[in-house]
């Protein structure tokens, strides 16, 4: 787990001493990702720079790492969990190794197998390999997008790649040099809660998409999708169900086993839910002294500390907790936004930041339960097609009439959203797990493009689901793999843990686990009564009974109450100080804030907190990266190499 930065030029005259110096200075933005070692290497066409967080082969495997008599140089962010097995296979094929780490396995595999090495990698990764003989580059990003990789083209024609966008902003000369705010990305962000790949909030910076590899030759970037997730369309016979549950349990246990591979201490996050509890229980098998960590709030109904503590006691691990206050939120937000690079309007990332900071005092690596919901059908919204089945049988005219009726019902009235959603097809109503501003709500945008739609993000995804013959539940999961998972869940997981120089590993997002999850029929994923049905059955002998059927909460945040009370004045100050008049009608935002406070005080079901939070996060982001008015104090990273 590290921070990489690469500059690739088409002209040998471009890699001058000042360019190497610029890259080295930009690398300092990524110091939190790898405080253990820093190095910059260059030749006449490339500059490769690296900050290392030493996890495997702590005293060896320096990067940029040379291979094949210095033919190749590789910079790699992530972990390859099957590196011992690949190493043995490569040695049998004639490869030699000078280190004991996983980085050299990647480049040796590329030397022998070419681009075919990527699908054989079991892990999380983004990497760039520079071939000094052919003067070409090859790289890839892991199947699900656990590890980020940004790219941009500089004014001199050179291509740059980085683990975080802020390093590219340094090389581009700031927000203006990066093309300024992308109006389309802002509109999609307000709709989706994040900026969808491959875009970013800056016009001139994009992302290498998850599950793709790429080549750079003569300055031209070409990408290829190597990962195509598939789900089954056939049911499982009753006699096949228990063997399926057994395969799930075995695959997950094996994934946790290899995810525990490290030369430093590995801990685990633990909420009150089944996913993190399962990971911690399995990890305990491989580390009897496992430490677990959770976060919560003082407000009743919004804290999982008690349930997590009960789970920790049941599985026999030492447990550490962190309580977060509204004041903690307000104080940390500018710094958290700086770490994020792009705005992500998920309040849960802030408590995750705090629990990561606490965990880093004790361990260097943590396991977590991200990805279980997307793979096994864990979100309650996945049950919606079952509840809307009656609408599917209605004539089109009746459905349209019910949709028209919903528009005349007051906001917050029970049944309003059910009628609205039941009256429209899946592609129009489902665009990922978050739904913030709808088209009719975007009047606060100064540049609202009515031709732009969430369908621009999901259209091709739905075309693939139709071609595959997927039912509506499976289509929703498929869409989330390419939207919600990589746009929200994994962005916050990477950025706020790396902010604390802490490596986060996600055993559910293992190709071998997906290989089994991809065989679970829809009736074993969701039912009218529950979600993740097959996974729950598989974990009956692994997690404590009080967790097995518990409703999903994650790290819930009392944002509705805070924005109406403890954070109301802070939020008003953020809006008033923001210089975002070019993008947003601040008067409307302030009116929303007042309406939210009044609704909450009156006990109204109308809740504007998620929309308000999205606007506030964008305003803070704009203050940090565009106005440069907000300059958070970046804490020093002084963690030891070993922990």
Q: If pLDDT is split at 50, 70 and 90, which confidence band does 109 have? A: very high
Q: If pLDDT is split at 50, 70 and 90, which confidence band does 553 have? A: low
pLDDT given for residue 235 in this prediction = 84
- By DSSP bridging, strand 46-52 and strand 37-42 are antiparallel
- Spatial CA neighbour of 346 closest among 27, 513, 559: 559
Q: If pLDDT is split at 50, 70 and 90, which confidence band does 554 have? A: low
- Average pLDDT estimate for 629-643: 82
Please tell me the least confidently modeled range out of 142-146, 200-204, 552-556, 604-608. Answer: 552-556
- Tell me if domain 2-225 and domain 238-378+482-548 are identical in fold: no
518 annotated binding-site participant = no
For residue 83, CA distances in Å to 86, 102, 364, 600 come to 5, 5, 20, 53
- Spatial CA neighbour of 370 closest among 526, 496, 518, 486: 486
- Average pLDDT estimate for 254-279: 95
pLDDT given for residue 392 in this prediction = 74
- Spatial CA neighbour of 293 closest among 261, 266, 264, 255: 266
Do you find a cis peptide bond into 64, omega within 30 degrees of 0?
A: yes
- Average pLDDT estimate for 109-128: 98
40 annotated binding-site participant = no
Q: How far is CA 435 from the centre of its chain?
A: 17
- pLDDT by residue (tens digit) across 166-190? 999 999 999 999 999 999 999 999 9
Q: Is the pLDDT of residue 411 over 90?
A: no
- pLDDT by residue (tens digit) across 13-72? 779 999 999 999 999 999 999 999 999 999 999 999 999 999 999 989 999 999 999 999
Residue 4, Cβ density class (10 Å: 0-12 exposed, 13-18 middle, ≥19 buried): buried
Q: Is the pLDDT of residue 441 over 80?
A: yes
Q: Is the pLDDT of residue 396 over 80?
A: no
- pLDDT by residue (tens digit) across 146-169? 999 999 999 989 999 999 999 999
Strands (E), 135-247: 136-141, 150-153, 159-162, 205-207, 212-217, 220-225
2-225: what fold?
Answer: 3.60.20
Q: Which helix (H) or strand (E) is 178 found in, with range?
A: none
User: In percent, how much of the chain has pLDDT > 90?
Assistant: 81
- Average pLDDT estimate for 256-268: 96
- pLDDT by residue (tens digit) across 292-332? 999 988 877 777 788 899 999 999 999 999 999 999 999 99
C-beta of residue 381 within 8 angstroms of C-beta of residue 475: no
Q: What's the rounded Cα separation, in Å, for the pair 81 and 26?
A: 30
Strands (E), 376-507: 503-505
pLDDT given for residue 485 in this prediction = 97
Matching residue, tokens 């009150």: 272
Give per-residue burial for 110-132: e unless 16+ CB within 10 Å, then b: bbebeeebbebbbbbbbbbbbbb
pLDDT given for residue 641 in this prediction = 64
Q: Structure pTM?
A: 0.95
C-beta of residue 190 within 8 angstroms of C-beta of residue 445: yes
Q: 267 or 550: which carries more pLDDT confidence?
A: 267
C-beta of residue 534 within 8 angstroms of C-beta of residue 86: no
Q: Nearest 5°: CA angle at 461, between 458 and 464? A: 155
Q: Which helix (H) or strand (E) is 450 found in, with range?
A: none
C-beta of residue 79 within 8 angstroms of C-beta of residue 255: no
Q: Is the pLDDT of residue 402 over 80?
A: no
- Average pLDDT estimate for 466-479: 95
For residue 606, CA distances in Å to 407, 410, 598 come to 15, 10, 10
Q: If pLDDT is split at 50, 70 and 90, which confidence band does 410 have? A: confident
Q: Is the pLDDT of residue 378 over 90?
A: yes
- pLDDT by residue (tens digit) across 484-535? 999 999 999 999 999 999 999 999 999 999 999 999 999 999 999 999 999 9
DSSP string across 215-255: EEETTEEEEEE--------S---HHHHHHHHHHHHHHHHHH
578 annotated binding-site participant = no
Q: If pLDDT is split at 50, 70 and 90, which confidence band does 542 have? A: very high
Average pLDDT, the chain: 93
Q: If pLDDT is split at 50, 70 and 90, which confidence band does 409 have? A: confident
pLDDT given for residue 165 in this prediction = 98
Residue 377 in tokens: 């059908």
- pLDDT by residue (tens digit) across 563-588? 999 999 999 999 999 999 999 999 99
Q: Is 300 helix (H, G, I), strand (E, B) or coil?
A: coil
Listed by start position, the domains of the chain span 2-225, 238-378+482-548, 558-643
Residue 395, Cβ density class (10 Å: 0-12 exposed, 13-18 middle, ≥19 buried): exposed
Q: Is 329 helix (H, G, I), strand (E, B) or coil?
A: helix
- Catalytic residue numbers? 2
369 annotated binding-site participant = yes
- Average pLDDT estimate for 419-444: 86
Domain 238-378+482-548 CATH superfamily: HUPs (3.40.50.620)
Q: What is the largest CA-CA distance in the chain?
A: 73
* Adjacency order of strands within the sheet including 46-52: 37-42, 46-52, 2-8, 159-162, 150-153, 205-207
Please tell me the least confidently modeled range out of 156-160, 411-415, 439-443, 473-477. Answer: 411-415
Q: What's the rounded Cα separation, in Å, for the pair 161 and 138?
A: 12
- By DSSP bridging, strand 318-323 and strand 291-296 are parallel
Q: Over the Cα atoms of the chain, what is R_g?
A: 24
Q: What's the rounded Cα separation, in Å, for the pair 466 and 460?
A: 10
Q: 620 or 398: which carries more pLDDT confidence?
A: 620
- Main-chain dihedrals φ then ψ at residue 154, nearest 5 degrees: -85, 170
């Amino acid at each position: 787990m590290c921070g990489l930065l690469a500059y690739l030029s088409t002209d040998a005259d471009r890699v001058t001493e000042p360019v190497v110096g610029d890259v080295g200075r930009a690398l300092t933005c990524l110091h939190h990702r790898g405080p253990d070692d820093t190095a910059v290497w260059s030749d006449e066409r490339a500059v490769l720079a690296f900050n290392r967080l030493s996890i495997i082969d702590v005293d060896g495997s320096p990067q940029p790492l040379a291979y094949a008599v210095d033919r190749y140089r590789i910079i790699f962010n992530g972990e390859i969990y099957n590196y011992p097995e690949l190493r043995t296979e490569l040695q049998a094929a004639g490869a030699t190794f000078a280190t004991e780490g996983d980085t050299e396995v990647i480049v040796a595999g590329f030397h022998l197998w070419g681009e075919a090495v990527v699908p054989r990698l079991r892990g999380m990764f983004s990497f760039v390999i520079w071939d000094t003989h052919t003067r070409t580059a090859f790289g890839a990003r892991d199947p699900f997008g656990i590890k980020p990789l940004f790219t941009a083209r500089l004014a001199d024609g050179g291509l740059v790649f980085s683990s975080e966008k802020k390093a590219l902003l340094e090389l581009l000369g700031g927000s203006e040099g990066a093309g300024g705010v992308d109006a389309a990305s802002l509109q999609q962000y307000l709709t989706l809660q994040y900026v969808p790949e491959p875009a970013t909030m800056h016009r001139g910076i994009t992302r290498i998409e998850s599950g793709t590899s790429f080549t750079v030759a003569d300055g031209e970037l070409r990408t290829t999708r190597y990962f195509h997730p598939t789900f089954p369309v056939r049911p499982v016979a009753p006699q096949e169900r228990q063997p399926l549950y057994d395969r799930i349990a075995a695959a997950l246990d094996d994934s946790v086993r290899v995810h525990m591979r490290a030369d430093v201490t590995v801990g685990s996050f633990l909420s009150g839910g089944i996913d993190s509890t399962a990971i911690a229980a399995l990890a305990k098998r491989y580390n009897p002294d496992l430490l677990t960590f959770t976060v919560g709030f003082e407000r009743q109904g919004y804290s999982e500390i008690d349930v997590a503590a009960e789970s920790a006691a049941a599985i026999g691990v030492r447990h550490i907790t962190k309580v977060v206050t509204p004041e903690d939120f307000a104080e940390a937000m500018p710094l958290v936004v700086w770490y994020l690079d792009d705005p992500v309007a998920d309040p849960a990332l802030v408590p995750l930041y705090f629990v990561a900071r606490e965990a880093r005092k004790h361990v260097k690596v943590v396991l977590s339960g991200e990805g279980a919901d997307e793979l096994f059908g864990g979100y309650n919204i996945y049950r919606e097609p079952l509840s809307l089945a009656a609408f599917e049988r209605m004539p089109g005219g009746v459905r349209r009439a019910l949709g028209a009726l919903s528009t005349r019902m007051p906001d917050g009235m029970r049944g309003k959203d059910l009628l609205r959603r039941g009256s429209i097809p899946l592609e129009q109503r489902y665009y990922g797990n978050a739904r913030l501003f709808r088209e009719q709500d975007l009047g606060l945008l100064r540049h609202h493009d009515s031709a732009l739609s969430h369908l621009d993000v999901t259209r091709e995804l739905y075309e693939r689901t139709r071609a595959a013959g997927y039912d509506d539940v499976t289509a929703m999961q498929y869409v989330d793999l390419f939207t919600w998972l990589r746009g929200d869940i994994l962005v916050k997981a990477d950025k706020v843990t790396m902010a604390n120089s802490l490596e986060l590993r996600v055993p559910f997002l293992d190709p071998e686990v997906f290989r089994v999850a991809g065989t679970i029929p829809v009736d074993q994923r969701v039912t009218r009564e529950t979600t993740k049905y097959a996974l729950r059955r598989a974990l009956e002998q692994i997690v404590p009974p009080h967790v097995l059927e518990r409703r999903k909460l994650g790290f819930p945040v009392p944002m509705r109450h805070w924005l109406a009370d403890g954070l109301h004045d802070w939020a008003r100050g953020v809006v008033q100080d923001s210089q975002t008049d070019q993008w947003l009608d601040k008067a409307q935002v302030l009116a929303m804030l007042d309406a939210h406070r009044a609704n909450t005080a009156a006990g109204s079901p109308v809740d504007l907190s998620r929309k308000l939070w999205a606007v506030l996060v964008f305003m803070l982001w704009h203050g940090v990266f565009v106005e440069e008015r907000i300059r958070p104090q970046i804490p020093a990273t002084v963690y030891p190499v070993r922990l």
